[in-house]
């Protein structure tokens, strides 16, 4: 529809709730051109908005670092440069004038999508800049995209206009996890030749969003020239941007930017660098510095100078359109309140999900949590409230989390409530951490605050360093003065001690103080050490010796820098008790203007014997861990604190004879300095260390998190959380003789030959056989020290593949490594990481979204048998065909559902190696937005014969694929045969005819159940009378079993470590025990319990342990033991 500038909808407030198919306001500016209003959400038509939008927007493409949009070739060109008029699907705007859509770059309308930001259509951009690689030029005869945009050439704004721009961007992680250079402009404002505003997304895989303009706001970029840092966008999700801009060449300009409904930028001042009579326009898409293949989705884009035409009364109302995330706040109990012992605590919350751009809001549920992530319960209806019954007196912290119908979540603040009396508190007042205490008698004091009762006793404790046993060193019931309680203590020697106090009151409630660490009989000393060597290293001249006399640091964004290293002989400190302070001091004689600038000091790995006269980048030690960052604003002395690092090395017993530090800029923003070297007598670097002759005890490890408190009693059993990954391959049948263990990767990363100094911990692990000399390899490190002394039977490296090219398959290989074995994923690079040694195995990878297993058995057997180091085993993954094949697999990054792992079998012989682990089974998910090109991915349906994940439960009424295998820990189908004489693992149910089955009990079609903590186990057995066809069994947990339509004959067979307790048949009736208790406890019922009494029965019995029930149809029309035929079932049994 078309709206005139003075046209008003009768109820304008309803306009923005309508499908935003196409709205255009025709406003004519000073030059007679169309005004600034256009809105698109691409429900149909072409990318430029035609045919519905008139005039259409202006497609814009450029190549090879050329910003100008050049004329296309009418004929004789190639598919990149030829004019595209007449080509199906091509946007017709200026198709006979300029370069257009090609294999190099383009845009297309995608429709019928349920993940679109508005409606069901989106605009997809793609651009390929890989021909540029690391360089700014493109080799002759090749093309690299520089621009893929659409501009509002026909819709202009002018100086003095208030312009409102809105757009939603979606960044698929497969594109934007890539690390290249600089940033990509996704929106720019043009009136003169250079943009007067630009929205930029970082190309470093960190999802940072910047706004660049002509104003004087700070440039807070990680890469020069990006502009003001707005925040991080979300990968694989819609990111809503709104920009308000008052166009002005003077001081009256305004700029406000909102990201996902929150203001992230506010500026007043000049916003235009100049004007022109034809006005200005906006462009959106991907522009400049495209150095690889990128995909961007855009939706709900528009610009206006009149918000009221859209039904928005104010800027705030306009911004609120993007605030479609739910909100939640705890409304009860009051923070800091106190309840009596055993009194239930009512938890309540206010939750709201406002209408948003995606449609009307709706709260799906509110969950309540205690002590972090311990779920109490959830409520799906207003008012949102649950009750928590404290299992014991104590302090409880609660918060709520709301989930809306779109899956968005929000978390409330927390409230703290005390159950029962308030206990006393205590604090050591006589000493502080790190105190040196003289030998002899020591006064130890504590300040005690009573709770709800008077103090009856204060007891003091001490733990000697190296001895984990606490000893009582004194107690008192009387205060020395006021609230201070003191004792006299004579330590048993010059050691480090940890002291603390415990106060007890008349309610028998106790409170323990924090623990204070002191050194008895120690002396604090200070020494200043002079480095033995220092030099400058050039990454651009790797074999050049650069000991210039002064040291330099110059860090650039192009991964090329000048850095300095400094070596100190600190062996004189190896007899110290502990390090109290350690600083590396450098004296600057030059610093780049415009600071302050951030510089960092790193630890190193590699050569310790280097000397400044012969060291270059290639043979120098490499950086390892960042130790400290300081902001430097002036020349003279500056110092880096490395106390923790040096003390850790001392306590670990490391040699301190050659401690090397690496110095570099921290922002990669052309920061530069020079400092004096050891050749300068008075201004040479210094290493100043304060230490003690007696070590203060190390800080104790953080206490493990408290176990989740269980509400007593709980009205609803907790729902078990399904595992996030498939279980390791099942253990061998005799656990005493064999075992299967899955080892996760300690570290994994991707190393780039073309970017040898770039760390590769960007998400997934990649292997890319790119030619020539541009390879990417994946590296994994494992600790399998527990294999020492064991017989290795089988080893599989399992990698979950999520991207593969070519799609038909390619061969990849796993190699042993040489060189660095102490690398970490946060710092490893091509230069300092492990190198390939010998190929262990190769495998054809021919699918995605599943695990593939590489057989490393012989390699690990050799290592274990030889007694080799098993704590740091590095493996390298690379393409084996050397034909540009590429594979990505999940990494060990937190949140990845299927991380890399070594599955190792030890002990008994394995009959046959298992096949590649199958992908996890499960119902197909709701359609989701894409993480890669093209389109939104869907989880594959498990094929016949696949293995569901461990512990999973099929949906009620579902039928597993023919021939499929039940998950580990579940009940296998009737008809399965366990290994003869096998012994089940702890916690499982021994199968019939195993050692635990009562003698003389002939059973067929046996299925396994589970055992409880008391050893009572339940399994279900289908009797021979049922005549169940093998493989025709569908399972259901007891809670859903009776609600499904079925007709079945089932025997429930219960035993307690081999002792038969009873069995009964379940057909139309559920048979209770025939007296004397039986398998379900008490009370007992006689056989023939009617179906309508099943719920009553289960409410009044104590079911011991989980019970799995499998059902199989009776043979049609067959009567068994006087029970009714299946035809009498009437279709359904009553639900529980």
Residue pointed to by tokens 């880096």: 640
pLDDT at residue number 729: 35
H helical segments located in 818-916? 857-865
Torsion sign across C-alpha atoms 438, 439, 443, 445: positive
The two structure tokens encoding residue 638: 């500056």
H helical segments located in 129-241? 173-176
- The set of residues, in sequence order, having a beta carbon less than 8 Å from that of 784 and lying 6+ positions away, is 743, 860, 870, 871, 873, 902, 904
Q: State the CB neighbour count (10 A cutoff) for residue 340.
A: 9
pLDDT at residue number 942: 38
β-bridge mates for residue 497, sequence order: 464, 518
pLDDT at residue number 224: 45
Nearest to 405 by CA among 387, 382, 380: 380
d(CA 428, CA 684): 43
With residue 496 as reference, give the H or E element that holds it.
strand 496-505
Torsion sign across C-alpha atoms 621, 625, 631, 637: negative
The two structure tokens encoding residue 772: 């020539």
Per the prediction, the chain carries an average pLDDT of: 75
Q: What DSSP designation does 320 have? A: H
d(CA 413, CA 160): 43
Q: State phi, psi for 728 to the nearest 5 degrees.
A: -60, 165
d(CA 83, CA 79): 8
d(CA 694, CA 96): 84
d(CA 660, CA 166): 52
Nearest to 520 by CA among 701, 697, 649: 697
d(CA 381, CA 814): 54
Rg value, the chain, Cα: 36
Nearest to 403 by CA among 365, 377, 369, 373: 365
Is residue 863 a contact partner of residue 788, using CB atoms and an 8 Å limit?
no
pLDDT at residue number 119: 87
- The set of residues, in sequence order, having a beta carbon less than 8 Å from that of 333 and lying 6+ positions away, is 339, 345, 346, 347, 415, 417
Q: State phi, psi for 206 to the nearest 5 degrees.
A: -105, 0
Distances (CA, A) of 731 to 573, 790, 838: 51, 16, 31
Q: What is the number of alpha carbons within 13 Å of residue 369 lying toward its C-beta? A: 14
d(CA 1068, CA 344): 42
Burial of 14 (0-12, 13-18, 19+ CB in 10 A): exposed
Q: Which residues of the chain have pLDDT under 70?
A: 1-35, 133-135, 215-225, 355-361, 406, 558-560, 701-706, 713-738, 762, 771-773, 894-897, 908-1136
Q: What is the dihedral of CA 1081, 1085, 1091, 1092, to 10 degrees?
A: -100
Nearest to 474 by CA among 462, 459, 464: 459
The two structure tokens encoding residue 303: 């610009």
Hey, what domains does the chain have and what are their CATH numbers? 2-320 (2.60.120.200), 327-419 (2.60.40.10), 425-522 (2.60.40.10), 525-692 (2.60.120), 738-907 (2.60.120), 914-971 (no CATH), 1010-1129 (no CATH)
Distances (CA, A) of 62 to 46, 83, 84, 575: 20, 14, 15, 67
d(CA 26, CA 982): 82
The two structure tokens encoding residue 713: 């009693």
The two structure tokens encoding residue 598: 């951030």
In this structure, the strands spanning 208-213 and 197-202 are: antiparallel
pLDDT at residue number 1038: 32
Is residue 242 a contact partner of residue 318, using CB atoms and an 8 Å limit?
yes
């Amino acid at each position: 529809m078309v709206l005139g500038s003075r046209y008003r909808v009768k109820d304008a407030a309803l306009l923005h709730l309508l499908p935003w198919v196409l709205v255009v306001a025709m406003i004519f500016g000073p030059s007679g051109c169309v005004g600034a209003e256009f809105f698109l959400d691409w429900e149909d038509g072409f990318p430029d908005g035609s045919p519905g939008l008139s005039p259409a927007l202006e497609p814009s493409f450029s190549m090879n670092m050329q910003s100008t949009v050049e004329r296309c070739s009418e004929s004789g060109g190639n598919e990149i440069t030829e004019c595209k008029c007449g080509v199906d699907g091509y946007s017709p705007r200026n198709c006979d004038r300029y370069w257009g859509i090609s294999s190099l770059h383009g845009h297309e309308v995608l429709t019928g999508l349920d993940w679109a930001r508005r409606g069901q259509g989106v605009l997809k951009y793609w651009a390929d800049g890989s021909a540029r690689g690391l360089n700014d030029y493109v080799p002759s005869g090749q093309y690299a995209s520089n621009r893929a945009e659409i501009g509002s050439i026909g819709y202009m704004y002018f100086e003095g206009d208030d312009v409102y721009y809105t757009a939603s961007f979606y960044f698929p992680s497969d594109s934007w996890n890539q690390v290249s250079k600089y940033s990509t402009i996704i929106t720019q404002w043009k009136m003169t030749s250079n943009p007067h505003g630009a929205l930029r997304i970082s190309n470093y895989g960190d999802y940072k969003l910047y706004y660049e303009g002509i104003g004087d706001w700070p440039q807070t970029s990680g890469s020069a020239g990006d502009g003001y840092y707005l925040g991080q966008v979300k990968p694989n999700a819609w990111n809503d941007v709104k920009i308000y801009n008052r166009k002005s060449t003077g001081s009256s300009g305004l700029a406000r930017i909102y990201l996902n409904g929150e203001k992230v930028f506010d500026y007043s001042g000049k916003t235009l660098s100049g004007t022109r009579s034809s006005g200005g326009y906006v462009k959106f898409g991907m522009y400049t510095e495209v150095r690889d293949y990128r995909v961007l989705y855009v939706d709900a884009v528009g610009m206006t100078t009149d918000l009221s035409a859209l039904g928005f009364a104010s800027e705030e109302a306009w911004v609120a359109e993007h605030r479609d995330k739910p909100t939640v706040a705890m409304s009860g109990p009051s923070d800091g309140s106190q309840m009596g012992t055993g009194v239930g605590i009512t938890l309540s919350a206010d939750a709201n999900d406002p209408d948003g751009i995606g449609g009307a809001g709706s709260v799906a549920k509110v969950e309540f949590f205690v002590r972090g992530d311990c779920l109490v319960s959830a409520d799906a209806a207003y008012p949102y409230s649950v009750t928590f019954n404290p299992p014991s007196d104590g302090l409880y912290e609660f918060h709520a989390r709301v989930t809306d119908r779109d899956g968005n979540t929000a978390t409330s603040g927390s409230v703290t409530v005390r159950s029962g009396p308030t206990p006393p508190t205590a604090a050591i007042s006589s000493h502080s951490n790190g105190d040196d205490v003289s030998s002899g008698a020591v006064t130890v004091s504590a300040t005690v605050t009573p709770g709800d009762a008077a103090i009856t006793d204060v007891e003091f404790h001490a733990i000697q360093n190296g001895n984990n046993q606490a000893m009582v060193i004194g107690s008192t019931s009387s205060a020395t003065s006021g609230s201070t309680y003191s004792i006299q203590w004579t330590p048993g020697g010059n050691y480090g001690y940890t002291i603390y106090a415990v106060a007890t009151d008349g309610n028998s409630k106790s409170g323990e103080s924090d623990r204070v660490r002191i050194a008895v009989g120690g002396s604090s000393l200070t020494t200043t050490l002079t480095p033995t060597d220092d030099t400058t290293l050039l990454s651009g001249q790797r074999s050049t010796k650069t000991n210039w006399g002064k040291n330099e640091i110059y860090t650039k964004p192009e991964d090329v820098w000048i850095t300095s290293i400094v070596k100190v002989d600190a062996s004189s400190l190896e007899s110290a008790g502990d390090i109290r302070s350690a600083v590396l001091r450098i004296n600057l004689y030059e610093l780049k203007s415009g600071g302050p600038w951030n510089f960092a000091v790193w630890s190193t790995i590699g050569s310790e014997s280097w000397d400044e006269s012969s060291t270059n980048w290639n043979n120098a030690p490499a950086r390892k861990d960042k130790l400290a960052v300081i902001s430097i604003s002036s020349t003279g002395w500056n110092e880096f604190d490395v106390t923790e690092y040096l003390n850790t090395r001392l306590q670990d017993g490391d040699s301190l004879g050659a401690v090397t530090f690496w110095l570099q800029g921290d922002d990669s923003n052309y920061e530069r300095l020079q400092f004096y070297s050891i050749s300068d007598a008075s201004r040479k670097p210094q290493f100043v260390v304060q230490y003690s002759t007696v070590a203060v005890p190390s800080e104790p490890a953080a206490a493990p998190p408290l176990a989740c408190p269980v509400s007593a009693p709980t009205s609803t059993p907790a729902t078990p959380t399904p595992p996030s990954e498939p279980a390791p391959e099942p253990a061998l049948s005799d656990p005493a003789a064999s075992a299967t263990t899955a080892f996760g990767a300690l570290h994994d990363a991707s190393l780039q030959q073309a970017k040898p100094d770039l760390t590769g911990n960007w998400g997934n692990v990649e292997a890319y056989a790119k030619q020539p000399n541009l390879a990417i390899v994946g590296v994994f490190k494992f600790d399998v020290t527990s294999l020492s002394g064991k017989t290795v039977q089988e080893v599989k490296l399992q990698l979950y593949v999520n991207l593969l090219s070519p799609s038909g398959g390619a061969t990849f290989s796993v190699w042993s490594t040489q060189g660095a074995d102490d690398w970490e994923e946060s710092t490893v690079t091509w230069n300092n990481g492990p190198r390939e040694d010998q190929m262990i195995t190769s495998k054809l990878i021919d699918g995605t979204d599943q695990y593939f297993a590489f057989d490393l058995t012989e390699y690990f057997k050799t290592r274990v048998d030889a007694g080799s180091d098993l704590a740091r085993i590095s493996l390298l993954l690379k393409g084996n065909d050397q034909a540009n094949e590429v594979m990505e697999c999940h990494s060990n990054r937190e949140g990845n559902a299927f991380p890399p792992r070594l599955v190792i079998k030890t002990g008994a012989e394995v009959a046959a190696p298992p096949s590649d682990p199958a992908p996890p089974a499960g119902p197909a998910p709701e359609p989701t937005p894409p993480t890669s090109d093209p389109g939104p991915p869907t989880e594959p349906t498990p094929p016949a014969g696949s293995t569901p994940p461990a512990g999973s439960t099929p949906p009620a009424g579902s039928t597993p694929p023919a021939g499929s295998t039940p998950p580990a820990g579940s009940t296998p189908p009737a008809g399965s045969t366990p290994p003869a004489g096998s012994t089940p693992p702890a916690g499982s149910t021994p199968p019939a005819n195993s050692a635990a089955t009562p003698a003389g009990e002939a059973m067929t079609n046996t299925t396994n159940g589970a055992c409880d903590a008391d050893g009572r186990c339940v399994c279900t057995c289908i009797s021979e009378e049922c005549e169940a066809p093998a493989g025709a069994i569908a399972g259901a947990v007891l809670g859903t079993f009776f609600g499904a339509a079925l007709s079945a004959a089932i025997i429930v067979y219960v035993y307690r470590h081999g002792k038969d307790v009873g069995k009964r048949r379940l057909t139309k009736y559920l048979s209770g025990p025939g007296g004397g208790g039986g398998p379900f406890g008490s009370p007992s019922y006689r056989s023939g319990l009617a179906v309508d009494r099943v719920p009553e029965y289960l409410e009044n019995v104590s079911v011991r342990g989980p019970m799995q029930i499998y059902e199989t149809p009776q043979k049609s029309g067959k009567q068994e033991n006087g029970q009714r035929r299946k035809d009498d079932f009437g279709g359904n049994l009553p639900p529980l």
